[in-house]
């Protein structure tokens, strides 16, 4: 059994990790930390876990965490970088759901996260945990940075087009919408039901921290400069991301549906939907699937890709477990082959 620890077990990604790992046949949950709830049985806070998770929250203690084979960080940005060096030194593998290790350009990271990075060496070594891109590197990684939720939906949508050289890489547009769970479990007035329900708004228009992540990952992978306009929106729903992606085609002589189907033919968690489909966020709710549909409205030179994920699963905890399965040589679907909930 793989001995697993979780730092930050009381947030939404933490409880989602617990929901999925509690049913994972190769995992033994050893430690779940929370400073505010230390001592409380996990299932007292999360009744969905009654009968499945029988341990209590504890304070984060590096000596105890280092006894695990792998530790997930489901903590706000900058928490992981303080604890990870000690764990890596003691041969515990780390899967970080925060943004502490997602970029490769340190100056860009420090600019967007407005702080100095405390372990630049590990920053360089970390593997970006998008399995559809980096499966081979993930296998041997000591430290995996799980992609952001918007970047997951956006990168998977643009990748087939960029890899095949079919679009102008400098003028991409990602118009993306998320549910309120993306903001985490903390109390915040803009996330109150009275503020969000029955309303819809853009935010972060002048710049969102996922912009440099998407730009860097796509540019590095495609070995050419990629640039985009990325506008996030808050939708009145709890879970889900819907990204509507636009790009200008540089050729007309191509079967776009076939390009997508071939790119993702062997990917267990990307579903390329039939021609004409319009994927709904509820069709991935609770599942680790990214559903994608490619369109060319009025046969114009604009390609439109619709990409939906559950921000807490494929956009965070499910993808984190997918990485763990690859790192430990398991069948990639183990524990995360969950069917979405409709409605």
Ligand X SMILES: CC(=O)N[C@@H](CCC(=O)OP(=O)(O)O)C(=O)O
Residue 232 binds which of ligand NDP, ligand X, none (CB < 5-8 A, kind-dependent): ligand X
Q: Rounded to whole angstroms, how far apart are CA atoms 68 and 71?
A: 7
Q: How far is it, in rounded angstroms, from Cα 185 to Cα 180?
A: 9
Instruction: Compute the distance between CA of residue 299 and CA of residue 312 in angstroms, rounded to an integer.
Output: 35
Choices 30-38, 158-166, 220-228, 298-306; region in contact with ligand NDP by CB under 6 A: 30-38
Query: Min. distance of Cβ 287 from ligand X in angstroms?
Result: 18
Pick 148 or 169: Cβ nearer ligand NDP: 148
The partner in contact with residue 234, picked from ligand NDP, ligand X, none with C-beta cut-offs of 5 to 8 angstroms by kind, is ligand X
Beta strands (DSSP E) in the chain are 2-7, 27-33, 70-73, 93-96, 127-128, 143-145, 172-178, 201-202, 228-234, 241-248, 270-272, 290-295, 302-309
Identify which of residues 169 and 240 has a Cβ nearer to ligand X in the complex. Answer: 240
Write down the catalytic residue from 68, 149, 222, 290: 149
Choosing from 18, 145, 234, 327, the residue that interacts with ligand X (CB under 6 A) is 234
CB of 18 to ligand X, least distance (A): 18
DSSP characters over 288-332: S-EEEEEE-GGG-SEEEEEEEE-TTIIIIIHHHHHHHHHHTT--T
Residue 143 to residue 162: CA distance in whole angstroms: 27
98 makes contact with ligand NDP (CB under 6 A)? yes
CB of 235 to ligand NDP, least distance (A): 13
Which of ligand X, ligand NDP, none does residue 154 bind (CB under 5 to 8 Å by kind)?
none
The nearest distance, CB 149 to ligand X, in angstroms, is: 4
The closest alpha carbon to 220, from 103, 141, 100, 106, belongs to 103
Task: Determine which residue in the list 12, 109, 158, 230 makes contact with ligand NDP, applying CB under 6 A.
Answer: 12
CA distances from 101 to 96, 210, 325 (A): 8, 13, 20
Should residue 7 be labelled a site residue for ligand NDP when binding is judged by CB under 6 A? yes
The CA dihedral of 159, 161, 162, 163, to the nearest 10 degrees, is 80
Collect contacts of 75-79 with beta carbons under 8 A, ≥24 apart: 75/7, 75/8, 75/11, 76/8, 76/184, 77/113, 78/113, 78/115, 79/7, 79/8
Distance CA 31, CA 273 (A): 39
Is there a catalytic annotation at residue 119? no
Selected range binding ligand NDP among 3-11, 114-122, 243-251, 281-289, rule: CB under 6 A: 3-11
- Lay out the site mask for ligand X across 93-132 (x = CB under 6 A, - = otherwise): -----xx---------------------------------
SS3 state of residue 246: strand
Cα(315)–Cα(259) distance, integer angstroms: 24
Q: Which of 316, 321, 324, 336 binds ligand NDP (CB under 6 A)?
A: 316
Q: Show contacts with ligand X in window 168-207 (CB under 6 A).
A: 178, 180, 182-183
By beta-carbon proximity to ligand X, the closer residue of 84 and 273 is: 84
Work out what residue 34 binds among ligand X, ligand NDP, none; the CB cut-off runs from 5 to 8 Å by kind: ligand NDP
Question: Which residues, numbered 135-164, are part of the site for ligand X (CB under 6 A)?
Answer: 148-149
Chosen from ligand X, ligand NDP, none, partner binding at 7 (C-beta under 5 to 8 Å by type): ligand NDP
Active site residues: 149
Give contact residues for ligand NDP (rule: CB under 6 A). 7-14, 34-37, 60, 74-77, 79, 97-98, 148-149, 181-182, 184-186, 311-312, 315-316
Binding interface with ligand X (CB under 6 A):
98-99, 148-149, 178, 180, 182-183, 232, 234
């Amino acid at each position: 059994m793989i001995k697993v620890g979780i730092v930050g077990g009381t947030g939404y990604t933490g409880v989602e990790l617990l929901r999925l790992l509690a049913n994972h046949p190769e995992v033994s949950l050893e430690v779940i930390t929370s400073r505010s709830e230390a001592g409380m049985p996990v299932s007292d806070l999360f009744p969905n876990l009654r009968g499945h998770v029988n341990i209590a929250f504890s304070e984060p203690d590096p000596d105890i965490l280092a006894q695990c084979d792998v530790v997930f960080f489901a903590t706000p940005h900058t928490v992981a970088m303080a604890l990870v060096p000690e764990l890596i030194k003691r041969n515990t593998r780390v899967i970080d759901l925060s943004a502490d290790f997602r970029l490769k350009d340190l100056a860009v990271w420090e600019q967007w996260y407005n702080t100095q990075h405390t372990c630049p060496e590990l920053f360089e070594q970390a593997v970006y945990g998008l399995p559809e891109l980096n499966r081979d590197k993930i296998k041997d990684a000591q430290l995996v940075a799980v992609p952001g939720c918007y970047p997951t939906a956006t990168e998977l949508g643009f990748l087939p087009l960029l890899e095949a050289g079919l679009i102008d890489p400098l003028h991409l547009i990602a118009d993306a919408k998320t549910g309120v769970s993306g903001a985490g479990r903390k109390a915040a007035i803009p996330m109150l039901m009275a503020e969000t329900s029955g309303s819809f708004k853009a935010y972060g228009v002048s710049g969102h921290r996922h912009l440099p992540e998407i730009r860097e990952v796509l540019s590095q992978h495609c070995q050419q400069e990629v640039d985009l306009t990325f506008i996030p929106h808050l939708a009145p729903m709890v879970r889900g991301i819907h990204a509507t992606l636009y790009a200008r085609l540089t050729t007309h002589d191509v079967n776009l549906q076939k390009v997508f189907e071939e790119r993702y033919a062997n990917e267990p968690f990307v579903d390329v939907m039939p021609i004409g489909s319009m994927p709904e966020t509820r069709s991935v709710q609770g599942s680790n699937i990214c559903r994608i549909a490619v369109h060319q409205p009025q046969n114009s030179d604009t390609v439109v890709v619709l990409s939906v994920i559950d921000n807490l699963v494929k956009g965070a905890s499910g993808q984190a477990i997918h990485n763990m399965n690859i790192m430990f040589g398991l069948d990639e679907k183990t524990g995360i082959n969950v069917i979405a909930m409709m409605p």
